[in-house]
Structure 1
Amino acid sequence: MANTTWMANHTGWSDFILMGLFRRSKHPAVLCVVIFVVFLMALSENAVLILLIHSDAHLHTPMYFFINQLSLMDVVYISVTVPKMLLDQVMGVNQISAAECGMQMFLYLTLAGSECFLLASMAYDRYVAICHPLRYPVLMTRRACLFLASGCWLLGSVDGFIFTPITMSFPFCGSREIHHFFCDVPAVLKLSCSDTTLYETLMYLCCILMLLIPVMIISSSYLLILLTIHRMNSAEGRKKAFATCSSHLTVVILFYGAAIYTYMLPSSYHTPEKDMMVSVFYTILTPVLNPLIYSLRNKDVMGALKKMLTVGPAFQKTME
């Protein structure tokens, strides 16, 4: 019996306990309703944006192809963590098996890594569109867009395939309480009873590399874009170029700001409370904000939305 207990305490294959957001809240029921509403908003906003891009011929361009990919990532991204968290609160359960934890970790890392590279691909697309408009149809063909999008998903999955099995292979002993609302790598590593210093250092270096390469692509693209805009004689052309880039830059700042805090700042800057709040921002709020950022200031998207809303009632009258 004692041997069984020791094995349960030292193996990675017994249940973990997600401490979550609700235990720290004075009004957990209200917070649960708010997160549920935000979750529904994220799903509906991204679904509408995906539907518009697929149904309107004017949005069948490389830029909207990448926005479509971003919306798809955001839908899966928020679905990886929030439904489990809400269901646990409603059912009064806060356990997660090691297999479920590993799957959640893998999907989260894959989507975060994929989005990281997708934002770089979107910056390159804007660079080609503004700096080489005549060559744009040749450089950004459908095959090129599919290649870039596939590369983003592949590189993101490599991130998940590397870090998930290594993290879950460490022995976990003592407390099984993860001070987070999902199985994030840093939060799970804190439960390990072995020395994870070398692994954390290697993970830190890999994260720097994964963030540095896209950041360099984005920075270079926008530096060349700014130089091109500066040379433009047309004020209308400058305004249109800035409008096209401002939405993407906003999304980049939101995503990379949170990612840099989570994976690049030393552990002395981190506390469970801070980590959880930052995770809430880029895991729950960002999927709600991204479609709004890309649609509210975008005439093409708003035009497609108005057209869809107008065609709907007209079609209904015709059927009657």
Structure 2
Amino acid sequence: MPALSNPLLLKWFNAFMRLSQRALSPWVQHAADIRLPLRGECRAGQVYLVGAGSGDAELLTLKAARLLMQADAVVYDRLVGDDVLALIPGGSERYYVGKARGHHSVPQAEIGALMVKLAREGKSVVRLKGGDPAVFARMGEELDALAAAEIPAAIVPGITAASAAAACMGIPLTDRGHAQQLRFVTAQLCREDGSPDWASLARKDETLVFYMGLSKVSAICHGLRQAGLPDEWPIMLVANASQPEQQSLVGSLADMPEQLAATPLPSPCLIVVGSVVQRVATSPALKTTDIAQPYSSDL
């Protein structure tokens, strides 16, 4: 009997596999049939401070998604992604209280009063905040307002921008060979009437992550260099982390202000400083659309 050709063997093999799958299908649980164990309810008269994550709806926690679909009212920020907002049912009330640099659409005191009002009306309320509600998000002030009105509150953490940016760029925020410490810093301290303790921040054994610092890049680079970090020390800027329009710049403390001036990035933008940034060049997660510049390899 002549040997079968390879294409014919392949055709027979594929047919056999299809037949096997059909025969075994009654005993195989398909992914579409899996039900995640979501329990609980969004209670009337209670406020849930929920982290919306970095904008990618798939990075929401299951609890956050459930509460969004159950709440009577959602009070949300500017940095909440459209895909996340799409999870809110059409019949739920929506209140936009977003803030942008130099412009607060609703004063913080009024946001607290709004949440109290909605809860006292017997509604279940989700206060939806970008990232994690406990990281530079005024959660403390909102908890105080709810406590003063004796409104019960619950906190649902979210993926903060630092975690999302590092994951999307394919680097660890900490690494045994690079950083034994991780510090989150609000760049608002770089304003004219205040300044971080640059001497304490200028360490080679830690990773610094600056939030809300796009307009402070020059001040950050200058402050760290003056405090002792070398000119070639790595720095990375990531805008719109985890979203389709993500952009990044990688360089050194000496050249980053010039890079940013030549290639402006949009807000929100996260700033990562530390030798872990060196790993970007070899990361499989780095997209070809990212704007990456070379940096010294002898740090």
TM range (shorter): under 0.3
Please identify the structure whose Cα radius of gyration is greater: 2
- Greater RCO (CA < 8 Å, at least 6 residues apart): 1
Bigger strand fraction: 2
- TM-score, normalising length: structure 2: 0.23
Bigger helix fraction: 1
- TM-score, normalising length: structure 1: 0.22
